[in-house]
A and B are shown apart, each in its own frame.
Chain A
Amino acid sequence: MSAEDALKLKFAGAELTFSQFRDNHRIVVPAARLFEILAFLKNEQHFDMLAEVTAVDYLEYEGAKDRFGVVYVLVSTTSGERLIIKTFVNDPEPLLPSVYSLWKSADWLEREVYDMFGIRFSGHPDLRRILTPDEFTAYPLRKDYPLKGRGERHNFPVLTRAES
């Protein structure tokens, strides 16, 4: 039985949307049941590796109902299968459960999503910014953040030759 069939049986009541493009198997799940679905895929199926956590900002996107989509790419190292799990969160407080307790690789991946999109993960052991400096206040991959920034790249002391 494939992982998708197992999910259909186990979570019969949940709103799961299955789709496929070539060999990409995609499942959209409700955010409230995200953690138990991922825990099921890790513990009772064979998806023992979390390859990627990333997010998409759907602000002003045609036909989108939610602000952020968060994407988890799972890999099975025994069969080589990949599974893409997607869920949606919204402003003003985008919050998801951390999957650090399932896969240790979630540590930095979730920090990156937090840094770039401002989506918080409850239960994460060390949710700090990972790429931008600590004093940075914006979330630069959000669509309402200007490409050229709000002047952060110019906010440094100027050294002249006479004084250095």
Chain B
Amino acid sequence: MSLATRSLPRTIGAHAVLLTYTAIALFPVILVIMNSFKSRAGIFGAPLTPPTPKTFDLIGYTTVIGQGDFLHYFQNSLVVTVASLFFVLLFGAMAAFALSEYRFRGNTMMGLYLALGIMIPIRLGTVAILQLMVASGLVNTLTALILVYTAQGLPLAIFILSEFMKQVSDDLKNAGRIDGLSEYTIFFRLVLPLVRPSMATVAVFTMIPIWNDLWFPLILAPSEETKTVTLGAQLFLGQFVTNWNAILAALSLAILPVLILYVIFSRQLIRGITSGAVK
């Protein structure tokens, strides 16, 4: 901002609003992480204070890691998230390209049909999905989860990506056609790199609900072999006794991978390479 458009009270006001919002948004996360480093008495005695030398305790983390299978749960979560993300982005981008690039009968209807999934929650179909998975023998497999999450993520991905693909210059695609590139090469080599920032946006929006989901792992893949982190954390949630240390530690650990993925995608948002293609 230039000096001419800046005013001190307005700057202070804007910062106050943003800082307040940041504090509100971060509060639960910080509370979880803080308490995960405290002893049980510390958590219940003073839940809002940071760990002191007296209350500091790594019992939660040792429990989680000592349980042994937790690494395996992490691995399951990662496999499911990354694989679903891959398929959502691949199929979403391909469908979006077809919808935005080719004129064919029923194009608009197809677009609306694909967008319908945004408005109808996939969980309404849980019973049918379960029957389907039982019939196809996919219960208690990660494949079941990947399939469901891919279906869940596609509508929004297609909706967002087709808007962005419409903005990719027609001239560029036509130049590729005249140079003899196949439609696949045009899609993968010319169009995809140009919509990379929007792909990253879609990836972030798709990834977080998948990582955090409890519903489908609980219903479709509750076995020890296929448990995800969120489901695994339920282990410590007993009917009579709840191991808060372990839950908080598990949740704190669960933030890490998703944070790493987020950092990777948000770096893609840098537009650098796209400038200079046209105009």
The judgment on whether A and B are partners is no
Measured CB to CB, the residues of B under 8 A from A are none
Measured CB to CB, the residues of A under 8 A from B are none
